Structure 1
Amino acid sequence: MNNSIFITGSSGFVGSNLVPFLKLKKIGDVVSLSLREPVTLHSGQAIIHLAGKAHDLKNSSNPQEYFDVNFGKTKELFDLFVKSDIRDFIYFSSVKSVADSVKGVLTEEIVPTPLTPYGQSKQQAESYLSGNKLPLGKRLFIIRPCMIHGPGNKGNLNLLYKIVKKGIPYPLGGFENRRSFLSIQNLNYIIEKILADQNISGGIYNIADDEPLSTNEVIEIMAEANGSKAKLWRINSRIIETIAAIGDRLHLPLNSERLKKLTESYVVSNNKIKHALKIENLPISSREGLLTTIRSFRSS
């Protein structure tokens, strides 16, 4: 067996961070793999399957595209893996393959009930992978990360930071929520440990930082990174909900659906992966990881 680590989606946010990290750690010979061309695989250390169709927040995509890419391409690649002499298959799914909203804490034992084509296509891929009996000596890891962030990330955190940077008060401070995040540093650490330790059992693993944060705490961290003080308006939540209900009828920027997205809780347990790695805490705290990300917004 050679030492190659094949990575799909290497140009994406996770891939562009993971590839140089693995090269620096000299875990193996990292090879970028494109699924747009015919793929031939014989031997190697691992396949890390990052490529996929991301969740379209505008809901403008054809639903079938999610299944063609997130299930169809994953099936093709996994079938090649099973026939090859490659040891590990690491599939990047998502917590949204399980639940679009969470009551309490999301664990690996919760029965999946995804509601969107994105989540359903990821779950279909998970079911196919889990339903195959692996040849002796192979491992399958289904990774379910929550919201990943880090330097270079241009998602919702960046948009929120721009509002905080301008000194615009956050009017939803009266809502108490908790959300899990995942720093790219902790994600890289977990993948490194999986690749380096054959004693870690394959399986389905939720991936998140150790501590969830409230939106208010996130805004306070953003203000701290910007050298300013957070401006939180703690308006009575019932007043805000009434305004959102009016927004439903008048098609205002703040409506009930948007309010739910901004204020709902989504807490993900990472106990199973930490138990598998035999660690008590991931190396980077939620606060430290978020500060690193926000400071990168400021410098850029």
Structure 2
Amino acid sequence: MKVLITGATGFVGTALCDFLEASAYKAVPTVRTKSGISNEIVVGHLDASTDWRSALTGCDAVVHLAARVHAMNGPTENPLALYRATNTEATLNLARQASQAGVKRFIFISTIKVNGEGRDAAYRETDVPAPEDAYAISKWEAEQGLQRIARETGLEVVILRPPLVYGPGVKANFLRLMKTVQRGWPLPLGAIHNRRSVLYLGNFVDAIRLCVEHPAAAGQTFLLDDGQAVSTPELIRAVARAMGRPARLLAVPVGVLAFMGALLGQRAAVARLTGSLHVDSSAIRSRLGWTPPYTMRQGLDATVAALS
């Protein structure tokens, strides 16, 4: 099968291209600007007018990873409009052209944030969507638009909503957490009792590959995770174990953390650390027979081993 991949130079895209090529697929990596990776196709800026025709020629499926994740907006800019231009309008433009080019299946990488920002009960595909920020709203609008296109054209749309993805080369908050543990700095997170799901990169690309080829994936929305939820302290201890380092956790009450977060303008960051975001991924397991090929322990070991 020939599979077009957007966002091919990103954290997930790079791993997916390598994984598909190793699995006897023909990966077609697309990029916004020339990057030098093998067989890349430069498509330019992603919006409602991007021309995908040459990239889509002969493709059987599309995996759409490219997205706007952060908006560096000034006081006069509309963040939601920026997100919609890339995450909604550009996505639907690609899907329409894919259908016209004879592509059979379109895999859209959405986000668990479409379900919401977290709650005590596990999220499921059947939940009423509750996106809160501009990023999640733009992804939810893209999902709805893709479903309309599917009904109108017969394009087989598969929607995946992952939680936080980690693995070799991970950046942002997960990298900062690992660096903190590596340096032996104490963390005031020992009194947190929450449940959070994460997804190892190797499990993610395996699930994407299955959704590209499995007949029963067509028209489905799936939530993904490693198959277990852990508390923030448990995750830190697991990272420390993989590093062979002690986990230095201070049992600071959650209420104190919330108060300090409010004072420092970090209310949302503290809420993510202390709150729950638990995913029930049983649907993809039962419908497609998927089992994550790696445990969380194996994923953390690989992630830590790659840390420079």
One fold, TM greater than 0.5?
yes
Give 3-state SS (helix, strand or coil) of 1:38's partner: coil
Q: Matched residues, percent identical? A: 30
Please show how residues 138-177 of structure 1 align to structure 2 within 5 Å: 138-177=155-194
- Structure 2 distance, partners of 1:134, 1:290, is 43
* Shift of residue 55, structure 1, vs aligned partner: 4.0
1:106/1:267 contact within 8 Å kept: yes
Structure 2 residue 146 is the aligned partner of structure 1 residue 129: yes
Structure 2 residue 297 is the aligned partner of structure 1 residue 282: no
Count of aligned pairs between the two proteins: 286
Change (3 A) 1:189 1:258: closer
- Structure 2 distance, partners of 1:247, 1:48, is 38
Change (3 A) 1:199 1:111: closer
Change (3 A) 1:246 1:173: closer
- Structure 1 distance, partners of 2:124, 2:246, is 35
- Structure 2 distance, partners of 1:211, 1:148, is 14
* Shift of residue 186, structure 1, vs aligned partner: 0.6
Structure 2 residue 272 is the aligned partner of structure 1 residue 272: no
- Structure 2 distance, partners of 1:182, 1:188, is 10
Q: Which residue of 1 aligns with 2:120?
A: 103
Structure 2 residue 55 is the aligned partner of structure 1 residue 43: no
Q: Which string of whole-angstrom CA distances, capped at 9 and with x for unpartnered residues, describes residues 81-138 of structure 1?
A: 22221111111111112212233111011111211110110011001111231545x4
Q: Which residue of 2 aligns with 1:30?
A: 27
Change (3 A) 1:193 1:237: closer
- Structure 1 distance, partners of 2:185, 2:62, is 45
Give 3-state SS (helix, strand or coil) of 2:196's partner: coil
Aligned-pair Cα RMSD in Å: 2.1
Change (3 A) 1:158 1:271: same
- Structure 2 distance, partners of 1:269, 1:55, is 27
- Structure 2 distance, partners of 1:119, 1:153, is 21
Please show how residues 183-202 of structure 1 align to structure 2 within 5 Å: 183-202=200-219
* Shift of residue 230, structure 1, vs aligned partner: 1.1
1:212/1:286 contact within 8 Å kept: no
* Shift of residue 69, structure 1, vs aligned partner: 0.4
- Structure 1 distance, partners of 2:209, 2:244, is 34
2:226/2:292 contact within 8 Å kept: yes
- Structure 2 distance, partners of 1:286, 1:247, is 29
- Structure 1 distance, partners of 2:177, 2:73, is 21
Please show how residues 82-93 of structure 1 align to structure 2 within 5 Å: 82-93=99-110
> 2:173 is aligned with what amino acid?
N
Change (3 A) 1:5 1:274: same
Structure 2 residue 264 is the aligned partner of structure 1 residue 252: yes
Change (3 A) 1:285 1:236: same
- Structure 2 distance, partners of 1:245, 1:50, is 37
- Structure 1 distance, partners of 2:273, 2:198, is 14
Q: Which string of whole-angstrom CA distances, capped at 9 and with x for unpartnered residues, describes residues 247-284 of structure 1?
A: 63xx437x5443212211100111111112224x3211
> 2:51 is aligned with what amino acid?
P
Q: Which string of whole-angstrom CA distances, capped at 9 and with x for unpartnered residues, describes residues 185-239 of structure 1?
A: 111111222233334443111111100111111111221122122111123444x
- Structure 2 distance, partners of 1:53, 1:224, is 34
With the length of structure 1 as denominator, give the TM-score of the two structures.
0.88
> 2:61 is aligned with what amino acid?
A
With the length of structure 2 as denominator, give the TM-score of the two structures.
0.86
Give 3-state SS (helix, strand or coil) of 1:103's partner: strand
Change (3 A) 1:193 1:247: closer
- Structure 2 distance, partners of 1:285, 1:17, is 18
